[in-house]
Amino acid sequence: MADDAPLRLYRALVKNDPAAAISVVEQVRAEGAEPDALLDSLFAPALAILGGSWADGSINEYVFTQASAVSDQILSFVTPPRMAGDTGITVLVGSMHGDSHDIDKNIIAAALREAGHRVVDLGADVRPATFLQRAEETGARIAIVCAQMVATARAVVRVREMFVSDGRTDLVLLVSGAPFAADERLARAVGADGIVGGAESAIRMVSHLARQRRGGGSAS
């Protein structure tokens, strides 16, 4: 990156010229600057010059405000995308039939979505057949079934039976909820491949499965 790039960006800002500012960013990017480094190496130094010019009176309050508004417009060009990129992994999430608790399910679904996964939220009180049906429709290979009561947790075995009866042994069944957290044997008994302990655990497990799948040469 040329040493005077922050100064050029600063000049574009005070001239109230977003196109010129974007052009400076694009030039720096074309010179090979890493996208993640643009904020630290270009944008921040330019803003520091802007702050200094306002402080020493080289520019007045009006120009400072205008330049700040332009800097806001180009911020998205120098920052990494807010959301993670699409991983291409589809995950079914739902609460077991007879279970209307949906807080954990909502948090897990939202966290997976923010992490870039394609989430199909089936809602609460989902019948076992629906998990299979939606897996076939969406091509999902991972299902997370939430259950907060012992009776509904035990009933998750019907989801696994449904998958097996249709020959879908490739489907990964993850379970979540207090009964499974309290007794891991229950998860094994219902045929689950793992226990999701919360949002962070869900992201970790799904990312791990995605890496495994990629390593095995098949995409979900």
Partner 1 sequence: MIERSEQVRLAESLARQGRIAPAVTACYQALRVNERDPLAHCLLGGLMLAEGFCEQAARSAARAIELDQRCAAAYFVLGLAYDRMGGLWDRSVLVWQQLAEVVPDLAAAHVQLGEALAAASFADEAIDAWERALQIDPREPRAMYHLAMAALKREGMATALPGFRKAGELDPSQDDFFFALAGYDAEGLSAAAMSDIGPGIKSQLRAAHAFAANDELFKSSELIRSILDGHSDDVAALSLMAYLYLKQESVNEAMACSLRALTISTKTPTAVYALGAAFARRPALAAHASKLFSALTTMAPGQAMPHVLHAESLLGLQRYSAAGAAYRSALALDPGCVRALFGQAAVALTAGDHTAAAWAIRRAAYHDTRRRGYFWGPYDAAAEGGEQ
Task: Summarize as ranges the residues that interact with partner 1 (CB under 8 A).
Answer: 39, 44-45, 47-52, 54-57, 64-65, 68-69, 71-72, 75-76, 79-82, 103-104, 106-107, 109-111, 113-115, 176-178, 181, 197-201, 203
Q: Please report, for residues 156, 192, 212, the alpha-carbon distance to residue 163 in angstroms, rounded to integers and kept in the order given.
A: 11, 12, 21
> Least distance in Å: CB of 141 to partner 1?
22
> Least distance in Å: CB of 218 to partner 1?
27
Residue type, 76: S
Q: Report the candidate in 183, 100, 182, 106 with the shortest Cα–Cα distance to residue 144.
A: 106
> Least distance in Å: CB of 137 to partner 1?
24
Residue 191's beta-bridge partner residues? none
> Least distance in Å: CB of 177 to partner 1?
7
Looking at the Cβ atoms of 22 and 133, the one nearer to partner 1 is 22
Looking at the Cβ atoms of 106 and 130, the one nearer to partner 1 is 106
> Three-state SS for 125?
strand
Looking at the Cβ atoms of 115 and 173, the one nearer to partner 1 is 115
Longest dimension (CA), the chain: 77
Looking at the Cβ atoms of 75 and 164, the one nearer to partner 1 is 75
> Least distance in Å: CB of 101 to partner 1?
9
Looking at the Cβ atoms of 51 and 88, the one nearer to partner 1 is 51
